[in-house]
Chain A
Amino acid sequence: MNETLIIGLAGILAAAAPLLFAVIGETFTERAGVINLSVNGTILLTAMAGFAVAIATGSTILGLLAGAIIGALIALIIAFSSITLKQSQVAVGFVLTLLCRDLAYFLGNPIMGLSGPTVPHLPIPGLQEIPILGPIFFKHDLLVYSSYLLVIVAYLYFFKTRPGLMLRGIGERPAAAFVRGANVNRLRYLYTILGGALVGLAGPMYSLSVKAGWKGTVSGLDGIGWIALSITIFGAWNPARAAFGAYLFAFLQWLGLALQPSLPNIPSQVLQVAPFPLMILTLMLVNVGNSEWMEQLLSSLPEQQRKLLLKILRVLRSSPPAALGVPFERE
């Protein structure tokens, strides 16, 4: 296999690692019925804070830990305001996303452009010798390996364990879960905070590994949180499909970079935003099956074409947990 292709694929796996943490974290939160819209701000703030802590202490582990704690605290505010106070999740999440971004730029000013510690490379002995697969999968740092594990663990947790069943229950039919003995609001707190901690890890995973350092507004991280939120939707709240979405996104981003030299007339800033129209397009693909005009169109088609189109739409379709964003009230 071609050397550049192997390096490219390995790069895609590495670039998708933080995104996977953010997407899986948000999937946990939303599966429980809470929307954490602060992801974009959380990633920026934790990227800055994790980097600052790593510089101050010389320890990347403490940097990552700081990110997780800050992410969890932000999620705690969301949980408190939406579950206990029953304020709009969208309003609080959006304010937090702006506030955290400004906090990141304000507090990160003195450490801008400094060089700091990065997470060390750790090729896995033995496995890295496997031809082709070794260099693609097993010549990374610990963060990338844990991103593989996270997807698998989250998938098994959601669909193969009892607590996972309960988690899906409190997001789909909280009243029924409550009757079966689930403390809906306490579990929602728990999963919102857990999800926030995972999102919070994504920040330092950028600033200590994938895009090492903190460069303020030109860090290229602004917007990635919104991508993570839309991949959560694209992934239909399923870790496996979400992982596919994250890798697809990383691949397309790599493709954009690879094509840049052959498209000299397009400024790099324009290629950088290419993910966003793509984001809109994919959201359209997964949602269009729920729209009114599509139903009308379907009913006007001949039998055979209708069946085919229905099948395509069903594969694409992504429907949110039924109680997403709805506060739970005990009657």
Chain B
Amino acid sequence: MKKRWIEWLFQPLAVVLALIFTTIVLLIAGANPLQAYGNILSGAFSSTSKVADSLVAWIPLLLATAGLLITFTAGLWNIGVEGQITLGAIFTTWVLRALQDTNTAAWLILLLGFLAGMAGGALWAALVGILRIYGGVNEIFGGLGLNFVSTALVIWLIFGPWKRPGVGSMSGTVPFDERLWLPMLPGLRLSLWALILGILAIVAIYFVLQGSYFGLRLKAVGRNRRAAALMGMSPSRYGLAAFLICGALAGLAGAVQVTGVYHRLIPSISSGYGFLGLLVAMLVNYQAIWVAPIAFFFAALNIGSIQLPIVLKLDSTLSGVLQGSLVLFVLLMDGVRRNLLNRRKE
């Protein structure tokens, strides 16, 4: 019994250490830490519309993390997820722009837009997979390189072929017709459709990984490629499938950002949700069951820190410092815990 206690102690300890670290960072910046934390909390939870905003940020994070669980299970580091979100947004925008002046029904345009977004994300992810399997380019570098390319692509589109009448601007393309906006809950910026999509995605991924034949084989490939290959499972085929699924979900996140949040294509459309998803996946130790609450907590931190520059003249990247140090200390404490257990066994 006593051993259990000690094991459980390490996670709260990691949280405490992350808070101490962030507090020191705030003190170095000459800020009042309590004021800063209070500001984040009130910025995320003080009203219904703020909680709704946190949910708006939760959706793409949920979608990206759900996809990343699949690539992590296959033993792959899909750092290209940012670019996959962006490509999803580009493809969705493309379809919406092409069809919005036709007589096509709004629901059909949106449906096609979402499918195109998934295809765009999957395409970009497939590129990373192909580069790895046939070109020998590690997926970390392939994905990262394609992230930068996707950013350039968005900027080129916004300032080139899709620029606003007159002169292109960093504020993005011309907003779509209002009939192509995802319907919002009254008085809020939150779309029920997008929320359902996000929840469905993580639930589906949970069941795929827990109970399906595909999930089981994916795990086998991720744990031991060589053994899996000897058992007749092709690691490259499963790896590619994992990339396609993750890319499609990331593309869906891009589609949601375009149709449900910004109603146009903007330069930083992926908003860092891909990288944040990687952090969430690491923090929950790749267990689908914990993704929803942790992702919501991270989303709330992002929304809560938006006001920091206005109220306290602090940069909003404070949320990133808190999130990053949390994951770092959880990884370190997990290592310390295992180290102690091993030592005791010997």
Say yes or no: is A61 at the interface (Cβ < 8 Å to chain B). Answer: no
B136 touches A288 (CB 8 A): yes
A270 touches B155 (CB 8 A): yes
Q: Which of B156, B320, B331 interacts with A87 by CB under 8 Å?
A: B331
A284 touches B314 (CB 8 A): no
A283 touches B321 (CB 8 A): no
B149 touches A273 (CB 8 A): yes
Say yes or no: is A229 at the interface (Cβ < 8 Å to chain B). Answer: yes
In the complex with contacts A92-B331, A95-B279, A98-B324, A276-B148 CB distance below 8 A: yes
In the complex with contacts A106-B321, A109-B315, A85-B332 CB distance below 8 A: yes
Q: Provide the residues of chain B in CB contact with A102, threshold 8 Å.
A: 317-318, 320-321, 324
Stretch at the interface among B115-123, B201-209, B287-295, B333-341: B333-341
Say yes or no: is A94 at the interface (Cβ < 8 Å to chain B). Answer: yes
Bound-state CA distance A233–B321 (Å) is 30
In the complex with contacts A94-B79, A106-B317, A106-B318, A99-B155 CB distance below 8 A: no
Say yes or no: is B135 at the interface (Cβ < 8 Å to chain A). Answer: yes
In the complex with contacts A106-B317, A280-B131, A283-B141, A85-B152 CB distance below 8 A: no
A86 touches B335 (CB 8 A): yes
Bound-state CA distance A37–B142 (Å) is 15
Q: Provide the residues of chain B in CB contact with A81, threshold 8 Å.
A: 331-332, 335
Q: How far is the CB of B129 from chain A (nearest CB, A)?
A: 13
B328 touches A99 (CB 8 A): yes
Q: Which chain B residue has the least Cβ–Cβ distance from A88? A: B331
Scoring A residues 233 to 252 as 1 if CB is less than 8 Å from chain B, else 0, what string do you get? Answer: 10000000000000000000
Say yes or no: is B159 at the interface (Cβ < 8 Å to chain A). Answer: yes
Q: Which chain B residue has the least Cβ–Cβ distance from A226? A: B144
Q: How far is the CB of B256 from chain A (nearest CB, A)?
A: 23
Of B79, B152, B282, the most chain A CB neighbours within 10 A belong to B152
Say yes or no: is B213 at the interface (Cβ < 8 Å to chain A). Answer: no
Total number of residue pairs linking A and B with CB closer than 8 Å: 138
Q: Which chain B residue has the least Cβ–Cβ distance from A87? A: B335
Say yes or no: is B28 at the interface (Cβ < 8 Å to chain A). Answer: yes
Bound-state CA distance A85–B14 (Å) is 15
Q: Provide the residues of chain A in CB contact with B151, threshold 8 Å.
A: 269, 273
Q: Which of A37, A85, A98, A288 interacts with B135 by CB under 8 Å?
A: A288
Q: Provide the residues of chain A in CB contact with B137, threshold 8 Å.
A: 280, 283-284, 287
Scoring A residues 278 to 299 as 1 if CB is less than 8 Å from chain B, else 0, what string do you get? Answer: 0110011001111101000000
Q: Which of A103, A233, A277, A283 interacts with B149 by CB under 8 Å?
A: A277
B131 touches A267 (CB 8 A): no
Say yes or no: is A130 at the interface (Cβ < 8 Å to chain B). Answer: no
Say yes or no: is B77 at the interface (Cβ < 8 Å to chain A). Answer: yes
Bound-state CA distance A319–B152 (Å) is 31
Q: How far is the CB of B125 from chain A (nearest CB, A)?
A: 15
Bound-state CA distance A84–B137 (Å) is 29
**B contact residues, total (Cβ < 8 Å):** 47
A267 touches B160 (CB 8 A): yes
Say yes or no: is A183 at the interface (Cβ < 8 Å to chain B). Answer: no
Say yes or no: is B29 at the interface (Cβ < 8 Å to chain A). Answer: yes
Say yes or no: is A90 at the interface (Cβ < 8 Å to chain B). Answer: yes
Q: Which chain A residue has the least Cβ–Cβ distance from B267? A: A269
Q: How far is the CB of A66 from chain B (nearest CB, A)?
A: 13
Say yes or no: is A272 at the interface (Cβ < 8 Å to chain B). Answer: yes
Q: Provide the residues of chain A in CB contact with B54, threshold 8 Å.
A: none
B131 touches A98 (CB 8 A): no
Q: Which chain B residue has the least Cβ–Cβ distance from A268? A: B155
A106 touches B29 (CB 8 A): yes
Bound-state CA distance A92–B333 (Å) is 12
Q: Provide the residues of chain B in CB contact with A85, threshold 8 Å.
A: 332, 335-336, 338-339
Q: Which of A90, A109, A277, A293 interacts with B77 by CB under 8 Å?
A: A90
**A contact residues, total (Cβ < 8 Å):** 49
A98 touches B279 (CB 8 A): yes
B152 touches A270 (CB 8 A): yes
A92 touches B328 (CB 8 A): yes
Bound-state CA distance A89–B98 (Å) is 46
Q: Which chain A residue has the least Cβ–Cβ distance from B342? A: A86
Q: Which chain A residue has the least Cβ–Cβ distance from B138? A: A283
Q: Which of B79, B141, B152, B324 interacts with A279 by CB under 8 Å?
A: B141
In the complex with contacts A84-B339, A109-B314, A288-B135, A95-B145 CB distance below 8 A: no
A107 touches B156 (CB 8 A): no
Q: Provide the residues of chain A in CB contact with B79, threshold 8 Å.
A: 94
Q: Which chain B residue has the least Cβ–Cβ distance from A223? A: B148
Q: Provide the residues of chain A in CB contact with B335, threshold 8 Å.
A: 81, 84-87
Say yes or no: is A105 at the interface (Cβ < 8 Å to chain B). Answer: yes
Q: Provide the residues of chain A in CB contact with B339, threshold 8 Å.
A: 84-86
Q: Provide the residues of chain B in CB contact with A86, threshold 8 Å.
A: 335, 338-339
In the complex with contacts A81-B335, A229-B141, A269-B155 CB distance below 8 A: yes
B321 touches A99 (CB 8 A): yes
A91 touches B159 (CB 8 A): no
In the complex with contacts A85-B335, A226-B141, A95-B320 CB distance below 8 A: no
Bound-state CA distance A269–B267 (Å) is 11
| Contact sample, A vs B, 28 pairs, CB 8 Å cutoff | A37-B140, A77-B328, A81-B335, A90-B77, A94-B77, A95-B279, A95-B328, A95-B331, A98-B279, A99-B321, A99-B324, A102-B321, A105-B317, A106-B25, A106-B314, A106-B318, A106-B321, A223-B148, A265-B160, A269-B156, A276-B146, A276-B148, A277-B145, A277-B149, A283-B138, A284-B135, A291-B133, A291-B136
For the A-B complex with A88-B331, A106-B321 known, give 19 more contacts whose Cβ atoms are closer than 8 Å.
Answer: A37-B140, A80-B332, A84-B339, A87-B331, A92-B331, A92-B332, A96-B328, A98-B320, A99-B328, A102-B317, A109-B314, A226-B144, A269-B156, A272-B152, A283-B135, A283-B136, A287-B137, A288-B135, A291-B133
Binding site for B on A (CB under 8 A): 37, 77, 80-81, 84-88, 90-92, 94-96, 98-99, 101-103, 105-107, 109-110, 223, 226, 229-230, 233, 265-267, 269-270, 272-273, 276-277, 279-280, 283-284, 287-291, 293
